[in-house]
Homo-oligomer: A and B are copies of this chain.
Amino acid sequence: MNIYDISKKAGVSIATVSRVINNKDRVSEKTRKKIMDVIEQEGYTPNEYARGLALQSTKVIGVLCPDSSDSYTAAAIYNVERCLRDYGYDCILCCTGHRQEDREKYMKLIDSKQIDALVLVGSSYAAQDPKDQQYIIDAAKEKPVMIINGEVDAPNVYSVACGDEAAVEAATSGLIESGSRDILFLYNARSYSGRRKLQGYKNALQKHGIRERDELIALVTGGLDETIDFLLRQRSEGLRFDAVMASDDYLAAAAVKYAKKTGLKIPEDFQVIGYNDLMLARCCEPELTTVDSRVEDLSVAAVNYLMQILDGETPRQHSLLEGRLTWRGTTRTSEDGNPAPE
């Protein structure tokens, strides 16, 4: 069933059918109806490939992420997809893993598929090393690239990110102001976001006149158990810390379990703050104080900017949304953000 079949059955030319399908130009109400009836009757839908070929634009966006099963990423992808579909776009999803080599490989692969734009989800795409950003800059020569929660400064590369630095600074300040002095900063990637969060942590220390100590900055890899083990090991090796500022709710959950194991009482003896405000934050005991990184808002903003770009407008290249601290049971700070009375 193609446009020729429809045109024949409707007794018109394919051009007219095309016009009706794309409701373009002026075509008489009578013929329009006649054609619509045939289309309806035959259950015809246009071939997207022929259309893509003719139009050189496909209404398809490539969405890349390291791992779409990660809660944060999954939320971003969900919102990106829903929002793009409302604009009439399809997304093709590609999970690249974390290795630079694979990221470049898949980027190239997806890039070769006549998509209209690329969305990169996750700060790991904004590598620290500029030469690891080159593949993004190259891709942006062909089509717009939008990064969610990362930033690469190059033509045709756009980004929307959470103000991680300010949020972590505020969170860490809360820990200090409620009496913690030896705050362990726990993070799992030297990504764009990881670096910004670390900076926020450092800012807070400095602001409160606390000396920054290398041994209190810990980059961990591995899952929940590995992180708990890591913390136990640090303790047994003599490191003292009375709070954890984590770059992620998973890491914070590990810190809570660590406290449980060592008999430290939360929040009296030990405070913990997470990041992202995942469902998991509510399931910890006590519930995690954490930063809502507004992944939904970020995703929607990213798509809206992208649509502007594809419409030929040139919105600002990089925007930041403010993170929102939510005080819960793992800190001594009360809901309004002030230290609770002792």
A residues whose Cβ falls under 8 Å from a Cβ of B: 45-50, 52-53, 58, 60, 63, 67-71, 74-75, 77-79, 81-82, 85, 90-95, 106, 112-114, 224, 250, 253, 256-257, 260, 279-280, 282-285
17 contacts between A and B (CB under 8 A): A48-B114, A49-B50, A49-B53, A50-B53, A67-B78, A68-B81, A69-B78, A70-B74, A81-B93, A82-B95, A90-B92, A90-B94, A90-B113, A92-B92, A224-B283, A284-B285, A285-B285
Q: Which residue of B lies closest to A56 (CB)?
A: B49
Residues of chain B within 8 A of A250, CB atoms compared: 279
- In this complex, the member of A74, A75, A92, A95 whose beta carbon has the largest number of chain B beta carbons within 10 angstroms is A74
- In this complex, the member of A46, A60, A256, A260 whose beta carbon has the largest number of chain B beta carbons within 10 angstroms is A60
Find A224's partner among B52, B70, B106, B279 (CB 8 Å cutoff): B279
C-alpha gap A48/B67 in the complex (Å) = 25
C-alpha gap A36/B250 in the complex (Å) = 47
Is B74 a contact of A68 with CB atoms below 8 Å? yes
Q: Which residue of B lies closest to A65 (CB)?
A: B78
With A49-B49, A112-B45, A285-B285: A91-B93 Cβ-Cβ less than 8 Å: yes
